[in-house]
Structure 1
């Protein structure tokens, strides 16, 4: 662009122009493997062309202009095992039969070159580590064709007797094997198992060894791969011979039986041979065996044993009732043991008897054959004429009454002797006593009471009758007490002072009468002094239509007052007096009389101790007291009037 000078206008002489400058690419950037280095894997024994992995390179040059970014791949290292596609960069197997057990890992160098691989192009490289994975292409292999072990005959069941191992060049699951015995173990004495840690076969015993019966075994053992491979068509196996030599051990003697059972009678004499045990030494069948009793099982030393022939004898007498069984342990000389059980046989040396003191009950109003009670015991004989005994199948007895004349007032308890006899040889017997109580029973036969005191009253009375009888007895006692009280007051004066004038006046009305004015119907003061004149007192509760003159009461002289006569007079007057109240009136007179030729009934006021004289007083005064009781019914005559 041209510009004018300074003196001029300083304006451009020409308009501005645009220029496009294009930079032409040159091959100045080599290819690069950004994701490298690479790792790949392929199973061993893979076929040619099997893909392993793929690599990728980039070029910063312009892929449009020229061949600066056109890449071509090649293998610099790793031939002839692997190959690579020039354009796709896929690595493939180039050699068949590659064995992992021979070589497991390969390092492959890959080159990427631009300019289409022509001269002058730039290049870049990367490495690919290719690993061959394992397949089960190798069988297990025993380290040697035969093994030999020596096993003692006393080796315990399940204990290991030897180890064998089959090696496998494979790894992982392809190297695992199982072991088995396929021959030489007809008695099924051995087994072989796999050790999961070491992959060894462990030979163990399933049954005890017996040197005397078999001294050696020749076993055929097989090791087999667990996993089959789809390429090789496994599994593989290998076998070996295992020879086992049985070593003789010092074994203890063995008893002919593990348990012996002998019987002996409890009355057997000392040194009686109970039985014999026998044991043999398996190491030396004809050697001598010695026998002993383990005294921990025979603390009381009741048995002995012959150390040479094993015969067991009785050291002390036995009692079956104390111990029925004895279990002892017999030991052979080389610590071999057998259990001996000795059963003590019973003999008839105990008489039968009742287990407890039985008591039976008999209703005094019962029928024959009704004794309540069931006694358990051995067979028994009939004890007496008043009862009979029945034997049941369960070895129990039932006692039955033969008559019905049992009464508690006559005899309350019967002691019935019963002879009990067993069926042993010789038979044994004992006499036992059965207590039979006579009791009162209900109509249904249930026992109510066995006390004889409760049945003094007549049998068959009802409860009401018993109460009435009891009331009569109480009333009789009251009369006796009253009589004694009256006798004590026979010497007191008839005139009672005002402060001692204490009487009881009981009035009973059958209708609503005149109230307390009825108490004035009679003048009780007359009783205080029978010698006084019976004056007439008008009644305040009624007004009689007719006026009657008072009657003179009959009385005895001052010293001859008779209570019986006095009461009869008063009773006669009350029955014939029309002015007497028509009410039931009960009056109790606290007066005994002036005296009696009978004297006092109290034992405290009489010097006589003659009981017959007291009974005469009762006979004399008894009717008078009965007459005195009629005074309670005076009102009934008044009503009739």
Structure 2
């Protein structure tokens, strides 16, 4: 029957097997003791009477890496039916049977013939058979048993993931975790301390430590400086047997990279740089580059540059080249050699990404002086003022009258003669002349402000000994007004009134125009002309805002008596001298309905004839007679023409 494994029986069997191997117990004693282990307690004999029992063995062990010259005894299989007379033959089959493991057919002793490695195979499963030697009939049912390979410390710890690379920021505090290393041991972790690993640092222990149990590497100092040393090579050892003497060990290399923090300020290699630029260089021209160095790396070296002095900031601009981190100094405003030949520009470099943890290590900015020397170029004359000139002249000025003087000079040398001229494309009528030496502008023609109030001309100045050095300026000439135009009514005014108009009724409001343009503005005065001073029908009211109103003076008008009134109005300006003119307001008398709406402003012929005076009737009669005479004369001529043609 198959064996049943019991915890106490296993211990007893192993112990007896070891004692037998050492020669301290006889085989019969072992067989007798072990024989009872294959039975349940109720099957154990209660007396010395022999009882048939079956297979007798327990689990077998064999130590790995056996180096002896003789086969290594493993154990014994035994049937309790064996009387020791050699009638039973024992056989085994299964893993390694007949090659790795051999059995003595008579005694049942099993030996290992090869050196075993637990790390390759930890146990072997075999089957045992007991047969009658003569008949070969099985005496016991075939039963399975296991031979376990017992571990010895023959495998050293190995770092399977090495070599390792880790990183830690410079200036990190002591005890900062860097990374973790891990070694494995092929020995049996459940048996003894063969696979119990501890860690230690062989090289680099001054700067880093490793936790003996976990393999976590930490910083041992707080002054790691990337700028001094940017990486460390550690050798970490793993030892089994918990580090006890005789344990095996393995090691690995750990590279720890020190990453950068912004703990270094920018510094200019020089305290002064010198550049030269021509005064004729255009705005935006680069005059040179400077750079501040930084012991840090990456974005911690990114720079911003500033111009710190007021004069330098007005004339120059500084920008940062994103690729090279250089300061590019360019011209912001045109330079003038004659005004200043040397400029000392204070340029400051500042880190863009300042780490607030390290600002106390020093100022994170630095300054240098950039000396810019301006070189001279031959320049054309410059006008004073340089942006154009405004002149004024009265419109009644005489021919040859002085309008104004333009001035120019050579910016390079004093007392260089300058010659002036007027660009005739801007003065095609040659209204103005200019003295080529003095720059005096005079009148060449009589002016009329009412025709043109402004004249814009261009004056050219050239060096007398170098005609290529020329410049131009705009001269605007304003023609000042004189009062040479009388005021006039704005339009030929006409107005209408109803026959039943009341006294004081406003008929019309009039205004005037004046082609003159006095600097103090217009002021006009209105009165009725002297020939209308005896007028009893209308009055004029000066409103004092350069307009006047016409009102009725009486009530009731009769268009049959007079349907049109002509009112002369005198307008006077404020001079000097005061000028005046007379205009006429035509007033029509009209028939209106009861609401005051005008219906008709024409008198009928019947009403007109009945209302005519005797003198008017005589004049009308004479006209009729003349018309009749002309008609008769025309008829006579027609008859005469007919007779002539006949």
TM-score by length of 2: 0.61
Residue matched to 2:106: none
C-alpha RMSD of matched pairs (Å):
3.9
Question: 2:599 aligned with 1:448, yes or no?
Answer: yes
SS in 2 for 1:290: strand
- Quick one: distance in 2 between partners of 1:311 and 1:167? 61
Unaligned runs of 5+ in 2: 1-78, 80-87, 89-129, 463-468, 513-523, 609-646
Residue matched to 2:185: 59
- Quick one: distance in 2 between partners of 1:183 and 1:45? 36
Residue matched to 2:26: none
Contact (CA 8 Å) 2:420, 2:436: kept in 1 or not?
Answer: yes
Per-residue CA deviation, residues 180-213 of structure 1 (Å, 9 max, x unaligned), is: 4556959964454444432222334555543334
Residue matched to 1:410: 561
- Quick one: distance in 2 between partners of 1:16 and 1:399? 151
Which one of 325, 345, 353 corresponds to residue 488 of structure 2?
Answer: 353
- Following superposition, the deviation at residue 57 of structure 1 comes to 1.5
Residue matched to 2:458: 329
- Quick one: distance in 2 between partners of 1:148 and 1:45? 38
Per-residue CA deviation, residues 548-603 of structure 1 (Å, 9 max, x unaligned), is: xxxxxxxxxxxxxxxxxxxxxxxxxxxxxxxxxxxxxxxxxxxxxxxxxxxxxxxx
- Following superposition, the deviation at residue 425 of structure 1 comes to 4.9
Residue matched to 1:105: 231
Contact (CA 8 Å) 1:136, 1:229: kept in 2 or not?
Answer: no
Residue matched to 2:123: none
Per-residue CA deviation, residues 128-185 of structure 1 (Å, 9 max, x unaligned), is: 2210111334342323332111233344555543322111121124323444455695
Identify if the C-alpha distance between structure 1 residues 170 and 454 changes in structure 2 by more than 3 Å, giving closer, same or farther: farther
Residue matched to 1:304: 433
Question: 2:507 aligned with 1:372, yes or no?
Answer: yes
Aligned runs of 1:112-151 on 2, under 5 Å? Answer: 112-117=238-243, 121-151=247-277
Residue matched to 1:505: none
Residue matched to 2:120: none
Identify if the C-alpha distance between structure 1 residues 6 and 159 changes in structure 2 by more than 3 Å, giving closer, same or farther: closer
Residue matched to 2:55: none
SS in 2 for 1:88: coil
Residue matched to 2:407: 278
SS in 2 for 1:135: coil
SS in 2 for 1:70: coil
Q: Which structure has greater strand proportion?
A: 2
- Following superposition, the deviation at residue 224 of structure 1 comes to 4.0
Contact (CA 8 Å) 2:508, 2:551: kept in 1 or not?
Answer: no
TM-score by length of 1: 0.61
- Quick one: distance in 2 between partners of 1:401 and 1:47? 109
- Following superposition, the deviation at residue 41 of structure 1 comes to 1.1
Which one of 313, 335, 341 corresponds to residue 215 of structure 1?
Answer: 341
Aligned runs of 1:357-436 on 2, under 5 Å? Answer: 357-368=492-503, 370=505, 372-377=507-512, 379-382=526-529, 383-384=531-532, 385-386=534-535, 387-401=538-552, 406-436=557-587
Unaligned runs of 5+ in 1: 458-641
- Quick one: distance in 2 between partners of 1:107 and 1:101? 16
Per-residue CA deviation, residues 240-284 of structure 1 (Å, 9 max, x unaligned), is: 333222222334433333343332222333322111122232222
- Following superposition, the deviation at residue 125 of structure 1 comes to 4.0
Residue matched to 1:248: 376
- Following superposition, the deviation at residue 360 of structure 1 comes to 1.7
Per-residue CA deviation, residues 436-481 of structure 1 (Å, 9 max, x unaligned), is: 2111235665533313239959xxxxxxxxxxxxxxxxxxxxxxxx
SS in 1 for 2:264: coil
Contact (CA 8 Å) 2:382, 2:409: kept in 1 or not?
Answer: yes
- Quick one: distance in 2 between partners of 1:9 and 1:39? 68
Contact (CA 8 Å) 1:136, 1:235: kept in 2 or not?
Answer: no
- Quick one: distance in 1 between partners of 2:558 and 2:391? 60
SS in 1 for 2:291: strand
Residue matched to 1:463: none
Per-residue CA deviation, residues 96-155 of structure 1 (Å, 9 max, x unaligned), is: 755423442334343323344567655444432210111334342323332111233344
Aligned runs of 1:518-597 on 2, under 5 Å? Answer: none
- Following superposition, the deviation at residue 330 of structure 1 comes to 2.8
Identify if the C-alpha distance between structure 1 residues 368 and 241 changes in structure 2 by more than 3 Å, giving closer, same or farther: closer
Contact (CA 8 Å) 2:312, 2:345: kept in 1 or not?
Answer: no
Question: 2:472 aligned with 1:344, yes or no?
Answer: no
- Following superposition, the deviation at residue 329 of structure 1 comes to 3.2
- Quick one: distance in 1 between partners of 2:141 and 2:392? 149
Residue matched to 1:580: none
SS in 2 for 1:452: coil
- Following superposition, the deviation at residue 216 of structure 1 comes to 1.8
